[in-house]
Structure 1
């Protein structure tokens, strides 16, 4: 038996799936639907979602389209990159980090509009259902969550299209062939300012090489310019603040780095990852600006962080990455780790110089007025600050436990 709800805030893209969900919520729950569309820098117009919502009977005052690009980069992407976060060695968490913000905005709208439920379009097989719902319940424990893909029987593209026709939902031409029949489903894609992802179709066989036409953002490294290009990134308190000496807002900076990365074929990955729900899944990702940022941030940290501080950060990172991947952004353990990570960034400032060339990002220079690198101590030439004889005592003290053990065990 369905729980009675009066108002529901739907995460709405305006696409086929969420348009069907919108009508389904009206029909199955007899609920007033409020739509929320987030502009995360996905590279497509979000305003058409307004007209599609109106066409489906949504009141103008119940349609929310918010530009959250700056908030997304400043409060979610940058904090994540302070930790040099990467999941299972390759994934820069472009989808994972966007879900908490969408959930937060849905709850804010629910509070404003007096809604007693929220809904999303994530399927019952993926991670996103977990990420959305952990966010909802962390921020508003008494909210009702409606996950249509776990309730309905519209489990194929043809059934979705049939439902749309039956209920007068306008169908984009891209979903139909010349005869009005369903086209082959495109890749399942998700995009925002940090990345674009691809899943499904022939990618489901992990031995199949991705088609070049699949990649929508970047040039292939083979077709990237034959000329290398140098850029500089300025840092303050662990966050990038400028490119080539020009200070920029967080969203503008990431967009600029995306443009450099796309031009030079940087940031493509093809991985099989371990989903939180238990299965393995193959995904292809383009994260051009993020790939550049990760390299640059590690470089500026290499001269500004103390050794033990840096090593401890590296030990914490996999746990932090797992929390974000699994959807535990709004939790005390993530906030605790964030506080520790942020405490290390006080002196992470300066400039990193990078060379971009055919899919590669190479650090070629770094400087900081807070640098711990001492040329006087590190030089291979004659110096006046380091007594090499001191090393003997250092070595013997560190070897002491092994010397004692060796004498005891080798009698």
Structure 2
């Protein structure tokens, strides 16, 4: 430190004093540990950048480059592997297509061709011959398959022929490859559907003649439901015969439920209107007596607009007497039923339904509270209303059992 002889370390530039050291001897740097030779002439010293720090930054850079390069290389490898897998999948589908064509399995070949086109489009692959060649091949298979199915229609059972005809009609409307065959498909499908409708109409006529009009109408409804959505050119003739047959059944035994007329005070809040509960019960009673009520969802429902039989109901709701010695008013329904044939009354019935006293199902504590309760409440009014409706429905079913039976065929 006090010596005038000193020099700088060639590695890190730290000052090295030469106390008690002669020239030409080696000394060790106290900072970087480098073994240096003492020069004969003092060197200029000054702090220089350490190689260790430089090497540390080099290592950091290498690690950063590796962190960036590894995901990139992995992504490229995954893409390459995925691409090879997609190409192999397309090759397998094309091989299945070739195999199906060799065995003349046109249905499987068409499915394979559609799958191959979808794969090529989804993955951006170029099939052998190009996408246009694959599309042309697929369209040719579709036409050959449709021709084979049309030729087989005449030999199929009526139900199978109808299913096949409907499938061909759906395909002709959605597949441009069959546009040139649409006329032939319509004609052959119409013939198959007509044969199917005639087959089931014969069975329906047998059921009608054997005194089973419900079964006969069910067959006609099934025919109409399947024929109505189809193109008019292929189904109009068969549908016309089905509607004519069903109209005959409706003219003989068709009965509909007229609108339910409500009068008097309104029902308390919290319960559905009473007229929503009655139509299913009235329709079921008509069916039990041999009549044919309509199905609102059937394409034949409009035929009942001219049905000869009509069942009407009028309900008058009003407050009943007080419940025992309490201030709670019970509920009273006055019901009038009228059954008409060709606009003329053929049967009528009237009855009253009310809250039962004492109310069924009450414990002794509840019964005493109702009998001696305080001012009227909505909860008690709802309970009385529900019980009166139960009484109404029970009496209604009993009264409807006296409906006149449907006329004999």
Greater length-normalized contact order (CA 8 Å, ≥ 6 residues apart):
1
Structure number with greater Rg is 2
TM-score by length of structure 2 reads 0.19
More strand by share: 1
More helix by share: 2
TM-score by length of structure 1 reads 0.19
